[in-house]
């Protein structure tokens, strides 16, 4: 990214990238006095993905007044921020991307002359607003572009709009200091077409009204990547006292049934690592075009409908997003280079919730599947860029989306599991609870975490056993990676090996007794030698092409592509046209590309692309380019 480097040289004042704000330190607790003091004095990592300079001037509260226009695909309105600045600060800098700024006013300057910097790839532009020592409020009137990358406008009889802000897309729909280290509270008033319901990552309404005007409040400070909005024909169904599901009317009953255990998960999570800090925990089922499985928007997780299987088998995703209410939303990665602090901790916590609610056997099956996925991905990334297998990433000058691999998630998970197994679960749990509570609403970077870990938990002996250096700053998977133990999946592996050699006839497989994890394990490990007839046998015996479990279906469609099992091709096409979840799309399109079916891939993609979110089509455009 030479372009950015040049800009930085040419405009040092305007374009020096922001530092996450230094934190105020509370009176330290006795035991941890020295560690906390040391950490407080450490310089926080610099966020290279924001123009903001929070050490000079930062936002503290947003009042957002906006209207949503489906016919023009534009969000327009006013973002009014309370700000905090050094007396000497002459400007406050926000991030914007493809926003049209109509006017900026300040409490003491009226309409002021703002400046907009040159555009950089991914980062957008700096919006620089002059301030004085008297300025405590700025107000920006603006509109978004129909191409705004955070937004997906789903057309049709029932229009639907949703946002996806993480990592640095919030700036495409709200001018903001778009850095995970900068937190603000917010309130909002949003106008949408009458009869549609609007929801945010905030205190939410439960019912649509004819005027289409809604107000919101988020009283806990959050970083911009957790700003979220959804608008559509959305119904509401309570699950527990503090939990509910929102979904389109056709899915609301199924969703209520599927996520009935949400409340148990919430209770289990609180028992592990302390009180839930956000009031309610609700779940919004989005259209299938949602590019991710889930997104931990505070108070309202956004989720793909592909986790509705009818049998509550894919709920680990909810455990994951719920866990983010602590890891990520409460203690937040300072920069996207520290992404593993969000996701690795969350996978660890997710596993612990799953173990508490469904038992160790289930959580070990999940851990085994994670391990399998991780080893495959590590091999792939080692070939491309071994540095990307470090837990601590180097994303400066790159799209932070590049950091979204199994490394942050599953290498992060196994690292934390190694610590647990080294110090013992009891000690580790006490440590984690204090980590979340003591750092609540603060940022964390990798170096601070290491200092904290060494100071509060590990003995020199533990450190030797674990080898932090290798895990965090080294490539690949260290030898001391914990081993997972799932008897059930070991049995599946031997059944697969026998079956593939023809020793077990297909109808004698225990397919119908298997949980989704066992089916997934079987299908995702089909040997290369699997024949068309074997594929057909599986399909005839168990109707896999018709399965309602999207994880199993995905594994099956991938194998169908790799083994030229043509009877499943129509399902490949309908799946890819209906579903926009990138985790499924990439392997399927890549499978077609790598097995000489690029024409099939392109012809399906042509139909499917208009339904995809930018996060998904940017990846597929690259994959399917000449």
Residue 293: contacted member of Zn ion, ligand BES, none (CB under 5 to 8 Å, by partner type): ligand BES
CA 58 – CA 505 distance, rounded (Å): 67
Nearer to ligand BES, 92 or 555 (CB): 555
Of 118, 129, 62, nearest to 92 (Cα)? Answer: 129
296, 364, 410, 551: which one contacts ligand BES (CB under 6 A)? Answer: 296
DSSP 506-564: GGGS-GGG--HHHHHHHHHT--TT--HHHHHHHHHHH-GGG-S-HHHHHHHHHHHHHTT
| Distance separating alpha carbons of residues 519 and 513, to the nearest angstrom | 10
Told to check if 320 binds ligand BES by CB under 6 A, we report: yes
What the block records as the tokens of 463 is 């450190």
In the bound state with ligand BES, the residue whose beta carbon lies nearer, of 192 and 552, is 552
Please report how close the Cβ of residue 590 comes to ligand BES at its closest, in angstroms.
Answer: 17
Smallest distance from ligand BES to CB 9, Å: 30
* Contact in structure between 98 and 208 (CB atoms under 8 Å): no
Q: How far is the CB of 238 from ligand BES (least distance, A)?
A: 24
Among Zn ion, ligand BES, none, partner that 294 touches (CB below 5 to 8 angstroms by kind): ligand BES
Burial class of residue 522 in the structure, from the number of CB atoms within 10 Å of its CB (0-12 exposed, 13-18 middle, 19+ buried): buried
- Closest distance to ligand BES from the beta carbon of 320 (Å): 4
Task: Evaluate the CA torsion angle 471, 475, 476, 479 in order and state its sign.
Answer: negative
For the CB of residue 285, give the shortest distance to ligand BES in the complex, in Å.
14
Task: Tell me: does residue 321 bind ligand BES (CB under 6 A).
Answer: yes
Stretch that binds ligand BES, among 74-82, 255-263, 287-295, 363-371 (CB under 6 A): 287-295
Residues forming the active site: 321, 409
Burial class of residue 340 in the structure, from the number of CB atoms within 10 Å of its CB (0-12 exposed, 13-18 middle, 19+ buried): buried
Binding pattern for the stretch 573-612 against ligand BES, x by CB under 6 A and - elsewhere: ----------x-----------------------------
Cβ distance 193 to 70 under 8 Å?
Answer: yes
User: 96 or 406, CB closer to ligand BES?
Assistant: 406
Choose among ligand BES, Zn ion, none what residue 547 binds, the Cβ cut-off being 5 to 8 Å by kind: none
From 374, 550, 575, 578, select the one nearest 476 (Cα to Cα). Answer: 374
- DSSP three-state, residue 444: strand
Minimal distance, residue 88 CB to ligand BES, in Å: 36
Please say whether the beta carbons of 290 and 580 come within 8 A: yes
Of 346 and 547, nearer to Zn ion (C-beta) is 346
Question: Which among 102-110, 136-144, 183-191, 293-301 is the span making contact with ligand BES, rule CB under 6 A?
Answer: 293-301
Of residues 392 through 421, those in contact with ligand BES by CB under 6 A are 404, 409
- What CA–CA distance (Å, rounded) separates 254 from 118? 48
Contact with ligand BES (CB under 6 A): which of 35, 80, 166, 179? 166
**CA distance linking residue 403 with residue 221, whole number of Å:** 25
Stretch that binds ligand BES, among 16-24, 94-102, 313-321, 556-564 (CB under 6 A): 313-321
Contact call for residue 317 and ligand BES (CB under 6 A): yes
How many residues bind Zn ion (CB under 5 A)? The answer is 2
Instruction: Tell me which of Zn ion, ligand BES, none is bound by residue 167, counting a contact when its beta carbon lies within the kind-specific cut-off of 5 to 8 angstroms.
Output: ligand BES
197 vs 616, which CB is nearer to ligand BES?
A: 616
Between residues 117 and 293, which has the closer beta carbon with respect to Zn ion? 293
Q: Which is nearer to Zn ion, 142 or 415 (CB)?
A: 415
**Sole window of 12-20, 63-71, 318-326, 390-398 interacting with ligand BES (rule: CB under 6 A):** 318-326
- 131: closest CA among 182, 89, 177? 89
- The binder of ligand BES chosen from 292, 358, 415, 617 (CB under 6 A): 292
CA distance 176 to 58: 10
Nearest to ligand BES of 296, 558 (CB atom): 296
Cis status, amide bond into 167, omega within 30 of 0: yes
Q: How far is the CB of 306 from Zn ion (least distance, A)?
A: 16
- End-to-end CA, the chain: 22
Q: Count of alpha carbons within 13 Å of 282, Cβ hemisphere only? A: 24
What number of helices (H) and strands (E) belong to the chain? 22, 21
Q: Select from Zn ion, ligand BES, none the partner in contact with residue 404, using the beta carbon and a kind-dependent cut-off of 5 to 8 Å.
A: ligand BES
167 lines the binding site for ligand BES (CB under 6 A): yes
What's the token pair of residue 68? 């949503």
Q: Give the footprint of Zn ion on residues 342-401 (CB under 5 A).
A: 343, 346
Query: Using the rule CB under 6 A, is 295 a contact of ligand BES?
Result: yes
Q: Both tokens of residue 143? A: 């509109």
Applying CB under 6 A, the span of 78-86, 275-283, 286-294, 542-550 interacting with ligand BES comes to 286-294
Helix residue ranges, H only, 291-336: 316-323
Chain centre distance of CA 213: 29
Query: Angle of helix 339-358 relative to helix 262-273, nearest 10 degrees?
Result: 110
With respect to ligand BES, which residue has the nearer C-beta, 80 or 550? 550
Contact residues toward ligand BES (CB under 6 A) are 166-167, 292-296, 317, 320-321, 324, 343, 404, 409, 583
Contact residues toward Zn ion (CB under 5 A) are 343, 346
């Amino acid at each position: 990214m030479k372009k950015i480097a040049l800009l930085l040289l040419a405009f040092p004042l305007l374009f020096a990238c922001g530092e996450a704000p230094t934190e105020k330190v509370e009176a330290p607790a006795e035991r941890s006095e020295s560690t906390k003091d040391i950490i407080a004095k450490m310089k926080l990592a610099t966020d290279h993905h924001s123009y903001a300079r929070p050490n000079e001037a930062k936002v503290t509260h947003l009042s957002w007044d906006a209207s949503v226009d489906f016919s023009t695909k534009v969000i327009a309105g006013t973002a009014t921020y309370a700000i905090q600045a050094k007396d000497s600060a002459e400007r406050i800098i926000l991030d914007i991307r493809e926003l049209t700024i109509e006017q900026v006013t300040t409490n003491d300057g009226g309409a002021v002359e703002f400046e907009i910097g040159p555009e950089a790839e991914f980062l957008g532009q700096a919006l620089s607003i002059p301030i004085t020592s008297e300025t405590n409020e700025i107000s920006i009137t603006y509109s978004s572009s129909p191409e705004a990358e955070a937004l997906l406008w789903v057309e049709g009889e029932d229009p639907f709009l949703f946002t996806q802000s993480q990592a640095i897309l919030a700036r495409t729909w709200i001018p903001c200091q778009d850095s995970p280290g900068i937190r603000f509270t917010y309130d909002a008033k949003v106008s949408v077409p009458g009869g549609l319901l609007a929801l945010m990552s905030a205190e939410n309404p439960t019912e649509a009204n004819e005027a289409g005007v809604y107000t919101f409040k988020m009283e806990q400070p959050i970083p911009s990547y957790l700003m979220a909005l959804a608008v559509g024909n959305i119904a509401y169904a309570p699950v527990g006292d503090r939990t509910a599901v929102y979904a389109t009317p056709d899915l609301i009953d199924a969703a209520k049934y599927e996520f009935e255990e949400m409340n148990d998960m919430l209770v289990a999570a609180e028992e592990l690592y302390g009180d839930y800090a956000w009031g309610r925990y609700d779940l919004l089922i989005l259209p299938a075009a949602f590019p991710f499985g889930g997104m931990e928007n505070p108070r309202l997780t956004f989720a793909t409908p592909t986790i509705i299987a009818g049998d509550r088998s894919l709920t680990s995703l909810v455990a994951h997003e719920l866990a983010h209410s602590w890891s990520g939303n409460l203690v937040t990665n300072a920069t996207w280079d520290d992404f593993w602090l969000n996701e690795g901790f969350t996978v660890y916590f997710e596993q612990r919730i799953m173990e508490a609610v469904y038992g160790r056997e289930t959580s070990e099956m999940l851990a085994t599947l994670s391990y399998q996925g991780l080893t495959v991905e590590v091999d792939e990334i080692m070939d491309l860029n071994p540095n990307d297998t470090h837990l601590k990433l180097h994303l400066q000058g790159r799209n932070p989306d590049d950091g979204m691999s199994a490394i942050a998630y599953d290498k992060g998970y196994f690292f934390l599991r190694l610590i647990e197994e080294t110090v013992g679960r009891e000690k580790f749990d006490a440590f984690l609870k204090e980590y979340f509570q003591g750092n609540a609403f603060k940022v964390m970077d990798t170096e601070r975490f290491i200092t904290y870990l060494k100071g509060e938990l590990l003995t020199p002996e533990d450190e030797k056993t674990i080898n932090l250096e290798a895990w965090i700053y080294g490539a690949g998977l260290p030898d001391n990676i914990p081993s997972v133990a799932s008897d059930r999946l070991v049995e599946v592996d031997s059944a697969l090996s026998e079956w593939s050699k023809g020793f077990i006839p297909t109808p004698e497989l225990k397919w119908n007794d298997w949980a989704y994890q066992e089916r997934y394990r079987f299908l995702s490990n089909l040997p290369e030698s699997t024949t068309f007839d074997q594929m057909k046998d599986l399909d005839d015996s168990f109707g896999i092409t018709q399965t309602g479990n999207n994880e199993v279906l995905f594994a099956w469609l991938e194998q169908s592509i790799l083994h030229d099992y043509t009877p499943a091709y129509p399902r490949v096409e309908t799946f890819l046209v209906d579903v926009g979840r990138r985790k499924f799309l990439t392997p399927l399109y890549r499978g077609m590309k790598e097995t000489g079916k690029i024409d099939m891939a392109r012809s399906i993609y042509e139909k499917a692309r208009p339904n995809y979110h930018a996060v998904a089509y940017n990846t597929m455009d690259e994959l399917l380019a000449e």
